[in-house]
Amino acid sequence: MLYVHPTPLTSMFLDGCLEKGVCSTAGGARYNFSGVQCVGPVDTGDALYAIEQAVFREQRITLEELVSQLKQDLPDEDLRAYLRGLEKFGNDVPEADRWTRWVVEAFSRTLGRYRNSRGGAYVTGLYSVTAHQAFGSVTGALPHGRRKGAPFASGIAPGNGMDRKGPTALLNSLNRLDFSKTANGINFNIKFDKETLRGKSGRLALQSLIRTYFRRGGMQVQVNIFVSDLLKRAYYDPEAYPHLLVRVSGYSAYFNDLTPQMKTEIIRRRMVACRP
């Protein structure tokens, strides 16, 4: 990049470049890392936990039979219900949460072996923007009961509907992750129904949850507060809601600007918003 696209003007405003006399494209900047996002860590962790439980501990199915079922998109509804019923990340269950932690740490450890084109480090991020929907659309069925083509969980949030024990359990699971290994940032969505946070008591409850999460090592959280059926109305009558903003995965966007697939994914989040 130094030879084909130098950036002398912007490099002047980056710490380190003037002092070293080196363009940022050649590694002159003080902060010279490149972020690479880990998309689907929760689905991967839940899938590994499902294999551990279904195949090795409970011996409900052999590994060969499970692979066959996955290739056919989980046609056995009883098996799929069993797999979906297994513990998932986000419910304050250490045995399940440890697999997502293992995935994040394995990703970060592997990424750390490489250097970018400027000689700087690669660092892990846990935010998916809209890639969790795009990547999920081309991925087959997974052992935790997810069918072919379904979106992955966004960022580092649990899969839609998989956090079943409320916001305190969810935050306890998040606090089991070591965010010192994710220097490029994370995106954690937590959803609430509007009625849950109504009034002074609701605001105090939210304040307590967020403060405790950060005090125990949390890195980021974006709170989504949904009004019943509003998103569905906006989906079918977009002209009536031109200014409706939603959080996606690390950023906000006008609901009407999203693809139909992303609109559907956002609506599914609303359907499983946390309640007390």
- The tens-digit pLDDT sequence of the chain (276 residues) is 556 788 999 999 999 999 999 999 999 999 999 999 999 999 999 999 999 999 999 999 999 999 999 999 999 999 999 999 999 999 999 999 999 999 999 999 999 999 998 999 999 999 998 899 999 999 999 999 999 999 999 999 999 889 999 999 999 999 999 999 999 999 999 988 888 888 999 999 999 999 999 999 999 999 888 776 888 899 999 999 898 888 887 788 899 999 998 898 888 876 554 444
Element (H, E) at 266: helix 260-270
CB 148 within 8 A of CB 139: yes
Q: What is the pLDDT of residues 245-265, one digit of tens each?
A: 888 877 888 999 999 988 988
3-state secondary structure of 202: helix
Predicted TM-score (pTM) of this structure: 0.86
Q: Which residues of 224-254 are buried (b: 16+ CB within 10 A; e: fewer)?
A: bbbeeebbeebbeeeeeeeeeebbbbbeebe
Say how many CA atoms lie within 13 Å of 263 toward its Cβ: 17
In 60-164, which ranges are continuous DSSP H helix? 63-71, 77-85, 94-111, 131-137
Question: For the chain, what are the domain ranges?
Answer: 35-270
| Sign of the CA dihedral with 150 first, then 154, 159, and 164 last | negative
Residue linked to tokens 């950036």: 7
